[in-house]
Amino acid sequence: MCVSLADYDNDGLLDVYFTNNAHVMICSGQSNKLFKNNGDDTFSDVTEEAGVGDFGNGMGTAWCDYDNDGDQDLYVLNFVNSNIDPPENNLSVLYNNNGDGTFALSVNAVNTIGGHGVAWGDYNNDGYMDVYIANVKDILPSGKNVLFMNNGDGTFADVTDSAGVGDENDSTGVAWVDYDNDGDLDLHVVNGGIAALSESRLYRNNGDGTFTDVAQEAGIQYRGFGEGASWGDYDNDGDMDVYLVNYNEPNILYRNNGNTNHWIEIQTKGTVSNASGIGTRVKVVAGGLNQIREVSGGDGFCSQDSLVVHFGLGINEMIDTLEVLWPSGKVQVFENVEVDQILTITEE
């Protein structure tokens, strides 16, 4: 169903994780798969030894260093199926990277009843990555999307209701993006899927732990069979645009008209780390803003956002500190960086 890439063993090579919908006839009984990059144009199936061969109805998947220990952890979202036996295979799973090529199920973290898409982002700018889950109400009538706030101690808190992002439509793709360049992450939710027509959401971050749906005023309140979306600054003007993928209707490219807020975009090029810098964490401090992003190799639902990480900076006209933490462990720090530019940083 979905695929995401990360260098899970920090050897400088991108590895690949696939989710298999194990309860569909054509792949019945096949677990998800992790393929290790051997560095010679071949891959090895290390699923069993790594301990990530989940047999659920695998859908969305996304990597992230949620515990800030320097290696990539893995979230796998399973789709609800009443015929699944045992029933716990309906549960989504968060794998904690042990740092030795193996993973352990995180017992104190997120545990949802299933859905489509998953995306990581530090929406409250506290230095820890939070996670948003798209569930599917048509399959599970009581289901709604869920926002888990990272507590910073290996556990998460369900803040869906207080944040105001518990959409109960048929959600598929999800993405974190600072669409208005004000310095905090907003949330895009694609609704519709193949089951029902429902309006997509663009939740603007209010900066106080709550969100407001502004999809209509922003002009992307699409109503149709939405499946996924990819965000990126396609015209290099400093604000994020979005390409919406539909199931049986034409896809749509929405251009962001922008505002006067400042911004910076960082393209990472690894030398010791993987060439695209996937898994690299970038931290930007500007005035009162303290933000992090990770270069992601796939999240949402069947989607890939731009590998160029984007930061909105609000009214700040200078970046005090820009820090790049590479998967190799190397750290580069830059001071007094100019805003409103696309900056390429090569690992040194």
| pLDDT per residue as tens digits for the range 94-135 | 999 999 999 998 866 565 666 788 999 999 999 999 999 987
Residue 287 has pLDDT above 90, yes or no: yes
| pLDDT per residue as tens digits for the range 43-94 | 999 999 999 998 777 888 999 999 999 999 999 988 766 555 555 556 788 9
Write down the pLDDT at residue 223. 74
| pLDDT per residue as tens digits for the range 198-230 | 789 999 999 999 999 999 999 988 777 888 899
Q: Token pair for residue 326?
A: 């590479």
**Nearest residue to 125 (alpha-carbon basis) of 243, 188, 62, 205:** 205
Cis peptide bond prior to 141, omega within 30° of 0? no
302 — pLDDT class (breaks 50, 70, 90): confident
Q: Is the pTM of this model over 0.85?
A: yes
Return contacts of 96-99, CB within 8 angstroms, 24+ apart.
96/67, 96/154, 97/8, 97/69, 97/71, 97/72, 97/73, 99/69, 99/70, 99/71
Residue 138 has pLDDT above 50, yes or no: no
24 — pLDDT class (breaks 50, 70, 90): low
Give the rounded percent of residues in the chain with a pLDDT score beyond 70. 89
26 — pLDDT class (breaks 50, 70, 90): low
**Cβ of 249: how many Cβ atoms within 10 Å?**
13
